[in-house]
């Protein structure tokens, strides 16, 4: 299984500064006796600052077409079999490979539905 696949497009992740931050749904509060009471009902995942490895134009175009939409995300990075998530492409860089050809790198955010 690939480390990350977004709607069937395998994506190599090369960044070391990616953040995974859970979004807790619910609240917590102190009771009259001072005890902490939690009413958290769920936790959703959000991965930010994921920098891809070099990608060919066809793979980049497939992901750019899905920017801002909900996609199916699978792979070893995901704690379950798959999730439905919002894909946001935050940056796109062109890197010259040999003076004639270039590859692209994407910076993406994946937020669980």
- pLDDT digit string, tens, across residues 74-109: 988 888 889 999 999 999 888 887 777 788 899 999
Question: What's the pTM value of the predicted model, to 2 decimals?
Answer: 0.79
- pLDDT at position 89: 94
> Is the predicted pLDDT of residue 65 greater than 70, yes or no?
yes
> Is the predicted pLDDT of residue 1 greater than 60, yes or no?
no
Which domain covers residue 52, as residue numbers? 5-112
d(CA 56, CA 104): 7
* Residue closest to 4 by CA, chosen among 55, 42, 43: 55
The number of distinct structural domains making up the chain is 1
């Amino acid at each position: 299984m690939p480390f990350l696949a977004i709607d069937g497009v395998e994506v190599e992740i090369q960044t070391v500064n990616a953040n995974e931050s859970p979004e807790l749904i619910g609240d917590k509060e102190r009771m009259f006796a001072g005890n902490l009471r939690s009413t958290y009902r769920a936790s959703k995942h959000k991965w930010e600052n994921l920098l891809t490895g070099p990608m060919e134009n066809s793979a980049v175009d497939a992901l750019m077409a899905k920017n801002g939409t909900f996609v199916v995300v699978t792979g070893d990075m995901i704690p379950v079999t798959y999730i439905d998530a919002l894909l946001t492409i935050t940056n796109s860089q062109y890197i010259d490979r040999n003076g004639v050809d270039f590859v692209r790198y994407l910076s993406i955010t994946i937020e669980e539905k």
